[in-house]
Amino acid sequence: MNGDQQEPASQHADDETADEPAPQPPAEPDLTAAAFFDIDNTLIHGASMFHWARGLAAHKYLSRSQILDFVWKQTRFVIVGKEDAEDMHDITEEALALVKGRNQDELVELTREIFDEYMVDRFWPGTVALAEGHIDAGQRVWLVSAAPIELAELIAEHLGLSGALGTVSEQVHGVYTGRLSGKPLHGEAKAEAIAELAARENLDLSRCAAYSDSANDIPMLSMVGTPVAVNPDRALRLHARRNGWTIRDYRTARRVVKITAPAVGIAGLVTGIAVGAVMARRAIRG
């Protein structure tokens, strides 16, 4: 009788197994094609540096006076400044001064905690799906961002990507010097970094794709065979339409990001004001 009771259960298990799709073999590696993704507002909702700064403030890694002084300088910059290579170098150098003398391993570990607390749920699912599509096709995927390389590499690791190109801070014996190693990965510098990577990895850029939200990344988008504007600003949307580029917009009709004061705190709130000023200036110019 016990045997009679077990037979239907066994049959049921077989039925469930039969209904499951057969696992698909991994795609053959496509070694000459790749994809390059910007991070801010392309892959992640908002500015990754803003979320990172929130975390640094919350974990008392930086003092409130340090952050307020830095943000005040940057607020003045976004109101009257120009977004060229020299400006980006200056703003990055000022940011790096905040971590001068700090240990890299300590910052990397803290960045991991900040990512889990503030950023892990802020990915655009549609953009993640695009990256996964390239991986499923056997292609490699890199992030290309002006964000610190420590943060960019962590995001790439979380998504299972090939790697990341980011802004590199100089360090000696694992301690930050407060200076750049190279230049900020912004605008033309992104295109240069991709060209170097393509030469090193034997990539055919005509078979590669690039994704970004910003007109600042037109040089990067223009160098590949498949440029895609994701959640584009006005200038990039216009450029994409004129050039027949694909446009993917995953935003809702309500595009203003609210910053909640109790959650952000004073330092984060002022940083948010600076970020908001940048967005406003871009919108006016776009």
The answer to whether residues 38 and 216 touch, using CB atoms and an 8 Å cutoff, is no
User: Is 217 noted as a catalytic residue in this protein?
Assistant: no
List CB contacts of 196: < 8 A, sequence separation 6 or more: none
Q: Which two tokens stand for residue 65?
A: 């006076």
Please give the Cα distance from 68 to 74 (Å, whole number). 10
Catalytic residue among 14, 15, 30, 38: 38
User: Is 40 noted as a catalytic residue in this protein?
Assistant: yes
List CB contacts of 77: < 8 A, sequence separation 6 or more: 87, 91
Q: Which two tokens stand for residue 244?
A: 């027949």
Please give the Cα distance from 57 to 36 (Å, whole number). 31
Q: What are phi and psi of 221, to 5 degrees?
A: -65, -35
Q: Which residues are catalytic?
A: 38, 40
